[in-house]
Amino acid sequence: DSGVTQTPKHLITATGQRVTLRCSPRSGDLSVYWYQQSLDQGLQFLIQYYNGEERAKGNILERFSAQQFPDLHSELNLSSLELGDSALYFCASSVSGGKNIQYFGAGTRLSVL
Amino acid sequence: SQQGEEDPQALSIQEGENATMNCSYKTSINNLQWYRQNSGRGLVHLILIRSNEREKHSGRLRVTLDTSKKSSSLLITASRAADTASYFCATTNAGGTSYGKLTFGQGTILTVHP
């Protein structure tokens, strides 16, 4: 168990809908990262937050947004969903925002029908 | 986009044999890490090697790093059926603007037959 909790584990929704993925980092970790894993794109970095502030941005679509709350949990919001958004979404956390080990949650599997 | 390439894409061996996976990357790095992923589950950190290190060991794992060739290898000795998983290398780039972002390779699928 990595100590990173992601909910829900599975999400099935329809095109055009909006969903929210939730992540609770390990106790004491200030940094949260979101990644998307799909068959065609592999593992892609989406966005990083550190202590409530956005730190780095990757290949995140404008339809996607994220935030980190004062209690350090994070949410990834996906809107106007398309079939191609179907993927595994991982959250990871680390102690600091630097270049160190990241601990991954079990992921949320999103299926857009 | 993916930072690097991993080869082989798939590796099938018998229990007790050694497994070697290779990873290449494109930019200057701060460190390189290897992660394991069991089918459809979360990634588990295995080992981290910094850009100024050439070799690192952890249990049955041995990692080498050649920054002049921008490549790394992961050796798993005396493999077990439980080692069956996908293995990914991930890099953090040198420089101050990328922070902790990990850039992953495409992964090697390792199957260890009992």
Measured between CB atoms, does A26 come within 8 Å of chain B?
no
Structure tokens at B58: 């952890």
pLDDT at A97: 61
CA A105 to chain B, closest CA, distance in angstroms equals 6
Read off the pLDDT of residues A28-65 as tens digits, 9 standing for 90 and up: 999 999 999 998 889 999 999 999 999 999 989 999 99
> Does A8 contact chain B (CB < 8 Å)?
no
User: Do B33 and A101 lie within an 8 Å CB cutoff?
Assistant: yes
Question: Residue A1 has what pLDDT?
Answer: 84
The pLDDT, as a whole number, for residue B100 is 79
Q: CA dist B45 to A12, A19, A112, B15, B108, Å?
A: 29, 28, 29, 22, 15
Q: Which residues of A touch B109 (CB under 8 A)?
A: none
Q: Which of B13, B11, B12 is nearest to B21 (CA)?
A: B11
User: In terms of DSSP H, where are the helices of B9-99?
Assistant: none
SS3 of A83, please?
helix
Q: Which of A79, A75, A76 is nearest to A17 (CA)?
A: A79
Span A66-83, mean pLDDT?
97
- Residue entry with tokens 């981290």: B48
A31 closest CB neighbour out of B41, B100, B103: B100
Which of B1-5, B73-77, B87-91 is predicted least confidently? Answer: B1-5
Judge: A2–B42 Cβ closer than 8 Å, yes or no: yes
C-alpha to C-alpha distance for B35 and A15, rounded to whole angstroms: 33
State how far residue A14 is from chain B, nearest Cα, in angstroms.
22
Q: Which position has the token pair 């998307």?
A: A36
Residues 6+ apart with CB under 8 A from A71: none
Closest CA to A80 of A13, A16, A14, A12: A16
Residues in chain A closer than 8 A to B92 (CB atoms)? 99
Is the CB of residue B31 less than 8 Å away from at least one CB of chain A? Answer: yes
DSSP state of A16: T
Q: At B76, give phi and psi (nearest 5°).
A: -110, 120
